[in-house]
A and B are shown apart, each in its own frame.
Chain A
Amino acid sequence: MGFEVRVSEHAIARFKIAAVALATWPCARLIWLATQGGLGANPIEYITRSTGWWTLAFLMITLSITPLRRLLGWPWLARLRRTVGLCAFAYALMHFVIYLWLDQFFDFAAITKDIIKRPFITVGFTAFLLLIPLAVTSTNAMVCRLGGRRWQQLHRCVYAIAVLGVLHYWWLVKKDLREPILFALLLTLLLGARILRVNRAASAAPNTE
């Protein structure tokens, strides 16, 4: 399906740069708003929410690359996957540091209590911890060192991370679930596409043997 688009190494490098440039926009916007006093009455809440929202958004974009690649028949899209994934990690890191610093002021006793006692923080923290090995192993050298298969197995963690991330958002809102529901539906679609494909492959397998 789709049409063949040949993309040079040069173009892929440019796409990567463009992706990173676009990904810095939400962060640049926050900095701009901060200098203009545009973050509202509770700036720390605003930047916490915003970086969290963008973490989820970049996770969703990362997870949509493979289905899109198959749908459009653009194999080169896969080359952007790690770049976008790293952008998700960058926002998760900002989100986490804001929590540690501006929300809890490095009060590690309170933070530990929070992580243990508050389910939404427990799942958010778990998702962040799981993201770290993925970010660390995102270089070409690491892919080679681990070997393609093991690398891929490790990076399947992103499915759990996305589920935990959406749950984190779902559990924190006071009442209005509209946005968490949208993320959950999108994630269901993205993971559902993979499950369907695996099932189809499994049922097709006996015939080919």
Chain B
Amino acid sequence: MRDSFIADLRPGEITPREVYESRRQFLGRALNGALLMGSGVMGWGAREAQAGVKLQGIRKGAITLKEPLTPLKDVTTYNNFYEFGTDKSDPAQNAHTLKTRPWTLSVEGAVKNPRTFDMDTLLKLAPLEERVYRMRCVEGWSMIIPWVGYSLSELIKRVDPTSSARYVEFISLSDIVQMPQMKHGSLDWPYMEGLRMDEAAHPLTLLCLGLYGEVLPNQNGAPVRLVVPWKYGFKSGKSLVKIRFVEKQPTTTWMRAVPEEYGFYSNVNPAVDHPRWSQAKERRIGEFGKRPTLPFNGYADQVASLYAGMDLAKFF
């Protein structure tokens, strides 16, 4: 089932390796410098967890796009990660205080086999794939990002949800020491997102451990995050510490913060405007003009059936 789904996707071109490698040469140099400085005090295990370290054994995923990749520099310097500040440039400056090893992700709730995974286990749980996805922010900009990870369904099947597991909650780290900008209280912490069970189990839903072939940079949600490419970016929780299977639809952080503006589903939809701005178009980072936003961010063929019969203006 899963394989036939992947085969359905139109194969495209990934930006050639040489191109993206040259794009990030300058950054690599900076990261190497940082690694060398740190190597005196950190053991090998700690260094392995650092951004910029290559992830081994990545398969080229069948899920890819024809669109050119957003440069690594833009992907890692233009982020919404409010635990590290609300300016898009804040996370890149502040997220160095995040300690990504040791790290555990506990999976609990309506499951027969609750487990706590450490990072080594998560990295080996299933073969790592490179998946090139569109990322559409609710603010009206978008990127093309080569994520690394595997379908969340790989993790779901290992914990064996019970029949009462109808929704899944994703809880991000909430630690004022590692995330000092949290004290500005821009949102209620911890950051919590949610999916319906069938959305969480959909093969496109990615448990993400890296990007551009390397360990996730802290500002992009290290060491483990979610990527749900047909929903606005804020649905994809970063720096996850807990996944909980529940019976009732969760009230997510943004739903609590501004209920009239952010719904549970938050599927990318050019026909349903944000109350304060239009969602019809988007600015692809690196492009001058704007391009039309696609229903379900261009993944309608794969996911529209999940919402058959639903009024998407009501369930926004």
Contacts and interface: CB of A to CB of B under 8 A. Distances in A.
Interface class of chain B by DSSP = loop
A41 B184 contact: no
Contact of A176 (B86, B141, B286): B86
A119 B70 CA distance: 33
A117 B276 CA distance: 8
Interface in A154-209: 171-172, 174-176, 178
Interface in B140-177: 141
B186 interface: yes
A153 interface: no
A174 B88 contact: no
A120 interface: yes
A36 to B, nearest CB: 14
B276 A120 contact: yes
Contacts of A103: 290
Given A41-B285, A42-B285, A171-B276, A178 B187 contact: no
A50 B41 CA distance: 41
A176 B186 contact: yes
Nearest to A177: B186
Nearest to B140: A45
B290 A175 contact: no
Interface string B282-301: 01011011100000000000
Contacts of A70: none
A132 B43 CA distance: 64
Given A120-B276, A178-B184, A44 B86 contact: no
A144 B315 CA distance: 60
A110 interface: yes
Given A40-B89, A41-B285, A175 B187 contact: yes
Contacts of B316: none
A108 B120 CA distance: 55
A103 B290 CA distance: 8
A99 to B, nearest CB: 12
B19 interface: no
* For the complex of A and B, 3 pairs with smallest distance between CB atoms: A41-B78, A41-B74, A176-B86
